[in-house]
Structure 1
Amino acid sequence: MFSHKFISSINAISLQTWQELAGDNLFCSYPWMHTLEESGCVNSETGWQPQHLLIYTEKVLVAILPGYLKSHSYGEYVFDWAWADAYQRYGLDYYPKWLCGVPFSPITGNRILCKALTEPLAEYIFQTLKHSCNINNWSGAHINFFTEHLPANDDFLSRQGVQFHWHNNSYLNFNDFLNTLTSRRRKMIKKERQQAQSNALTIKWLTADEIDTDTLVSFYQCYQATYLKRSGHQGYLNLAFFQQLLLALPKAVHLCCAFNAQQLVAASLYLCDKHTLYGRYWGALEDYQSLHFELCYYQGIEHAIEFEIEKFDAGAQGEHKLMRGFKPVTTHSIHHISNSMFRDAIADFLQREHMHIKQYKAQCLSVLPFKQQ
């Protein structure tokens, strides 16, 4: 009934064919995936070799899983370094592994691009991935940050995590949102916004057609400087990616900038689809008090309210988001581990981790800053 093949470049399929299955899935769209490949951010040299899985029925393409052969675990945000270390201690290779996900972005969304995810289709995908691991000597297959309902399968281990998203409850403006918070948190946010504004900077939102070459280069310098300071290595994305992104997704891209006179000193890149605002890449050339909170959180919240956007995803981790009105949400991933000994050990680890995640989310919910809990 079903058949499949892997392709090593998105160029092997047309934009129209891909988009018929991707729909409005922004970060699994052809323009986003194509830009990652064409800019050289994903390839064998960066450890992200495209290996997209195509599923057919009677020669008709019915599903796509955007996938990559990985030679490391950087840029995934579902952390399995400990698993790789365990393999190494036993003299085994954890890489290559196959990963279905969005490179360099912990974005939740559908990962199996299709018009109808039936149980037979899901089962065929599970068996295909398992078989592909065996014949290609991949240590496993992983699907990260998916939101669709996937039937349970004994060959795939389930894992959960927690992110923090802001939800728009039809707020009229930023003050309307603030009025839902406790007095203590309202005062904190107002103080932080006043501190950011006291830096004597000019904050502007720019659309893609307003971002000229000099502004984009300055943003890229901010992005790289902050990434290097925070992590000790350069950011995953190159300047060519951002240049091509403005052309590939012009309606989705926004840049929130802080200028000192005419000089851009900090910026946060946002993307937006019909329902969600995504805060993706931030950087600053100098330290300004509370400017990170202003550009990455408060400006995003104001933007979401103004344009009636339902949700604001400001990126992974960050418990400090809780006191600023973001709520914990559960994320999901599944993992096939080819080696039976390690599969059993990882299954035991995930069972214990699941209890910790459940407790952690409950603790996060207990400290939300809203008047009505």
Structure 2
Amino acid sequence: MTSPVANTYREYGVNYYPKLVSAIPFTPVTGPRLMLKPDIKPAQVLPLICKKIAQHLNEFDMSSMHWLFVDKQLSDELLHSNQLCRHSVQFQWFNRSYLDFEHYLSYFNSRKRKSIKKERSKIAADGVDIVRVFGDDLSEQSMQFFYRCYKETYNKRSGHDGYLTAEFFNQIYRTMRQNIMLVIAHKDDRMIASALYIYDDSQLCGRYWGTLEECNNLHFEVCYYQGIEFCIEQNIPQFNPGTQGEHKILRGFEPIYCYSNHFLSKKAFHDGVGRFIEQEKSLLEKYKTDAEQLLPFKQQ
């Protein structure tokens, strides 16, 4: 899908691509974007970095620079260097020292607690068993099954095998096995679905899932509830299930701001995008507030 900014460039007969991007590909997760020595603060070097970026854009006829999913502190520093700040909203889960999933649900209001329990009971009633595989139990065969689910689900949805290859998944299995958790669904002694998570001591990130058979509520179980249970068991403080999805709110995923920063080399476009961001800001504030009102937790 072409972005609105790219469409605007095309309408004016100006090339939007190539552009510069600072991000982790296929990973909408906030994280470090600068590699600095511990004794160097971003504010000390960002003005020079941004000046050099602007020169590079002009020298190679590039349209813009985009810093995606930066932390708020870096975003604020970039804003001081004329890198426009844009907000977005994600839904994330926070572990408030829950003892188990039942304890977590005890903070829900009655109606929504019953709804979650009903969703999960239907999985069992359909004869589906769920297992979480990680650490020494994670095998090459389980990763290969996940890739099959990933590929077939992309094929059904988009008509291609997905953007990531079998070799990519083999490589992360070889190099970061201790940071991977798979959820695998079984039915009648067959594996029918799987989801891949990446985690460390600070965060669990849900990345991809796929299914070979349709089953009611399986997506919610494999991609959300199992991740929540894993965080509680492993004492992981937060769970980022990925972008979009208002359906996450009713399952206890809270709206938070994410930050990106942007510099467009042509002043007219830069100023126009800046005006759009200002107009958008109040709408996003309202969206976040409205989402907070939909959370399933009891009123304190």
Shared fold by TM > 0.5? yes
| Residue among 160, 183, 195 paired with 2:122 | 195
Residue deviations 1:51-84 (CA, integer Å, cap 9, x gap): xxxxxxxxxxxxxxxxxxxxxxx7xxxxx70000
Shift of 1:219: 1.3
Contact 1:215–1:264 (CA under 8 A) maintained in structure 2: no
Residue deviations 1:122-170 (CA, integer Å, cap 9, x gap): 2122112111111111111110001151323353111000000000000
- Find the aligned partners of 2:158 and 2:265 in 1 and give their Cα distance: 32
For the residue of structure 1 that corresponds to 2:80, the secondary structure is coil
Q: 2:47 aligns to what? A: 123
Q: Which has the higher contact order (CA 8 A, sep 6+)?
A: 2
Q: 1:216 aligns to what? A: 143
For the residue of structure 2 that corresponds to 1:138, the secondary structure is coil
Q: 2:232 aligns to what? A: 305
Letter in 1 for 2:166: L
Contact 2:20–2:66 (CA under 8 A) maintained in structure 1: yes
| Residue among 144, 154, 171 paired with 1:244 | 171
Contact 2:90–2:243 (CA under 8 A) maintained in structure 1: yes
| Residue among 24, 37, 61 paired with 1:102 | 24
Q: 2:203 aligns to what? A: 276
Shift of 1:213: 3.8
Contact 2:92–2:239 (CA under 8 A) maintained in structure 1: yes
Gaps of 5+ in 2: none
Is 2:97 the counterpart of 1:175?
Answer: no
Is 2:212 the counterpart of 1:288?
Answer: no
**Cα distance change on mapping 1:118 and 1:244 into 2, 3 Å:** closer
- Find the aligned partners of 2:115 and 2:159 in 1 and give their Cα distance: 31
Q: 2:156 aligns to what? A: 229
For the residue of structure 2 that corresponds to 1:113, the secondary structure is coil
Contact 1:97–1:138 (CA under 8 A) maintained in structure 2: yes
Letter in 2 for 1:352: Q
- Find the aligned partners of 2:35 and 2:122 in 1 and give their Cα distance: 44
Gaps of 5+ in 1: 1-73, 75-79
Contact 1:202–1:261 (CA under 8 A) maintained in structure 2: no
Q: 1:324 aligns to what? A: 251
Q: 2:91 aligns to what? A: 164
For the residue of structure 2 that corresponds to 1:293, the secondary structure is helix
- Find the aligned partners of 1:191 and 1:202 in 2 and give their Cα distance: 16
**Cα distance change on mapping 1:231 and 1:347 into 2, 3 Å:** farther
Q: 2:5 aligns to what? A: 83
| Residue among 287, 291, 297 paired with 1:360 | 287
Contact 2:47–2:81 (CA under 8 A) maintained in structure 1: no
- Find the aligned partners of 1:341 and 1:231 in 2 and give their Cα distance: 36
Shift of 1:227: 2.4
Letter in 2 for 1:123: P
Q: 2:62 aligns to what? A: 138
- Find the aligned partners of 2:214 and 2:109 in 1 and give their Cα distance: 29
Is 2:260 the counterpart of 1:333?
Answer: yes
- Find the aligned partners of 1:93 and 1:134 in 2 and give their Cα distance: 13
Supply the RMSD in Å over aligned alpha carbons.
Answer: 1.6
Contact 2:63–2:264 (CA under 8 A) maintained in structure 1: yes
Contact 2:70–2:258 (CA under 8 A) maintained in structure 1: yes
Contact 1:101–1:144 (CA under 8 A) maintained in structure 2: yes
- Find the aligned partners of 1:200 and 1:184 in 2 and give their Cα distance: 25
Shift of 1:99: 0.4
Shift of 1:203: 1.3
For the residue of structure 2 that corresponds to 1:312, the secondary structure is strand
- Find the aligned partners of 1:84 and 1:262 in 2 and give their Cα distance: 49
For the residue of structure 1 that corresponds to 2:92, the secondary structure is strand
- Find the aligned partners of 2:138 and 2:43 in 1 and give their Cα distance: 45
Shift of 1:212: 3.5
Shift of 1:88: 1.0
Contact 1:97–1:141 (CA under 8 A) maintained in structure 2: yes
